[in-house]
A and B are shown apart, each in its own frame.
Chain A
Amino acid sequence: MSEHTQVHTAAGDLVPTPGQTVGPFFGFALPYERGHELVPPSTPGAVRLHGTVYDGAGDPVPDAILEISQAGADGRVHGQEGTLARDGMTWSGWGRCPTTRAGTYSFTTVVPGPVDGAAPFFAVVVFARGLLNRLFTRAYLPGDDAALAADPLLSSLDEADRATLVAVAEDDGSLRFDIRLQGEGETAFLTYPRHDA
C-alpha cells in the first residue's frame, strides 16, 4: 500500500482521495446504451424523471452527467447484477444520463416505493465540467405531504430549500426535477457523515 493511504483523519478514518471534475470529455466513456432506462419504456407503470441542469447565470449546463439510485416500486433497495448490461428484465435500481446540448436529462423508471415507511426519494449525484467535485442530492416524490413533513432532512430545511428537493408532478404524468448549481433557487446539496475530514 502506498504511503498516502495510511494517513488517518482526526476521526480515525483513512483520508479519502480527493475528487476532481469529470471534465468535458466523458461523453465517449461514461454514457452507455439505455443507461437512462432503469426499466424499458414499455413497462407498465413506467414514469419519466427528467429536468434541466442550470448554472449560476440560469443557463443550461450541456456537459453534466447524472446518476440516480432508487428503491423499486415495492420499496426494495437491493439491485441485481447487470447494472450496465440492460437486458430489460433485471432491476438494478440505478441509472446514468448525460445532459443534452439543451442541459436536459431524462430517466425512464418506476416510482420508488417507501423504504421502512420513509418519504420515497431518488438519490441523485451530479457531475459536470466546471464542477470540481461531485454533488449529492435527493429528488423526493411529490404528493404525500404528511410523509414529506415527517422527513428528517426536509424538516431541517427552510421552505425555499425544501422546495428544491421535491420533484414536480407534470400534467403528462412525468416527474420534473430541475437542478440549479448556483444562484436563485440553488438546489440543496448534501453531505453525509464521514465525508468531512
Chain B
Amino acid sequence: MALTDDTVREPSDDEVFAPAPSPLDVPIAEQSEISEEISRRHAAARPGLVQPAVDFRPYRSSELRHPTKDLRHADPEGVELFSPVFGHRDVDPIESDLTLHPAGEPVGERIRITGRVLDGDGRPVAGQLVEIWQANAAGRYVHKRDAHPAPLDPHFTGVGRTITGADGSYDFVTIKPGPYPWKNHRNAWRPAHVHFSLFGSEFTQRMVTQMYFPGDPLLPLDPIYQAITDQRARDRLVSVYDHDVSEHEWLLGYRWDIVLTGTHSTPMEPEEGEH
C-alpha cells in the first residue's frame, strides 16, 4: 500500500503548537531502577489481573495520563450495543500484505501473522476490521516524529488492514519489525512489536494492543509490556512460532489469537451478503 500525503495527517493552519514540555525535574532513570520498580509493582499486584495497570509509573508517560478515580459501572445501551460496519468497500484485500509495494520489496525477515479474533463466549468475531501498524526491520516508523537514526525503507510503510473471515480469522504478511530505542529511561528499547486495533460486534469490545514475538530478551525489561502485572496475562500478547504457517523458501509463520470481552445482546444472524 503506497503511503500518500492523504494518509499522514498534516496540522491545519489554525492549529497552534503546544508549549514545549518542561524539563524533567528528576534525572533520567537507569534500567536497573525501572526493573526494580517493575518488580515491586508485580509483587504488590493482585494475581490474575487481565488488563494492564494504567497507573504504572515505570512507564513514565503514564503518570499524568491515567484516571485516578475508579471506572464507573454503566449498563451498555443504544449505540454501545453496536459496532461500525466494515466491508470490502472499506478495505482492499491487498492491504493485508504489507510487503506489496509498487516500487519493490521491503528489507527484512518476511513473516506471516495469522490467528482468530474471538469474543468472550468463544464465538468468532466475523466481518470486523483489524488494523496493524509497525516499525520496519531497522526499528523505524514512517512517522514524522520518529527521530530514531535508523533508515527508512522506501518499500515499506508498515500499515495494514483486513476484515476478519466468517471464522474470525485474520492474516497479514509483513516484515518482522525491529526493536527501537525510546526515551523512557536510559538505554530503553521497545521489544519488537506490532500494534493491533480491533473491533467486536459491540462498541464495548473496542480495544488496541500490541503483539510481541516469542523469546524476545527485551520483554522482561519493557515497562509497557510489564504494566500487565500477571505473567499469564502478559503471555497472551506473545505470538507463537508455528512451523505449519511457515512456507518453504518464502516466510516464517507466527500465530496469535485475540479474545475480546463478552457481548451484552444476542447477536443477529449475519444477513445475506455480509461476511
Contact = CB atoms under 8 A, between A and B. Distances in A.
Interface of A: 1-2, 4-5, 7, 9, 13-33, 55-57, 59-62, 67, 69-71, 77-85, 92-94, 98, 100-104, 112, 115-116, 118, 121, 123, 125, 127-136, 138, 152-153, 156-157, 161, 181-183, 186-195, 197
B257 interface: yes
B232 A131 contact: no
Contacts of B118: 1, 5, 14
A181 B64 CA distance: 8
Contact of B11 (A28, A101, A192): A101
A101 B232 contact: no
Contacts of A57: 64
A188 B79 contact: no
Given A4-B232, A69-B84, A81 B90 contact: yes
Interface residues of B, number: 101
A156 B16 CA distance: 38
Nearest to B145: A24
Interface string B207-248: 111100000000000001101100011111100100000000
B181 to A, nearest CB: 13
B195 A29 contact: yes
B8 A17 contact: no
Nearest to B274: A81
B209 A188 contact: no
A18 B232 CA distance: 10
Contacts of B7: 28, 31-33
B236 A15 contact: yes
List the 3 closest pairs (A to B, CB-CB), nearest first.
A29-B133, A130-B61, A94-B84
Contact of B17 (A101, A134, A157, A192): A101
B184 to A, nearest CB: 10
B261 A16 contact: yes
Contact of B76 (A9, A181, A192): A192
24 contacts: A16-B50, A18-B209, A18-B234, A19-B51, A19-B209, A21-B208, A28-B142, A31-B7, A56-B64, A69-B80, A82-B89, A93-B82, A102-B18, A104-B15, A130-B65, A132-B53, A132-B54, A136-B204, A153-B75, A182-B64, A189-B69, A190-B71, A190-B73, A197-B48
Contact of B67 (A33, A78, A121, A186): A186
Interface in B1-29: 3, 6-9, 11-12, 15-19
B172 interface: no
A27 B227 CA distance: 23
A16 B258 CA distance: 8
B223 to A, nearest CB: 10
B120 to A, nearest CB: 4
A79 B225 CA distance: 35
Contact of B68 (A18, A131, A182, A194): A182
B65 A128 contact: yes
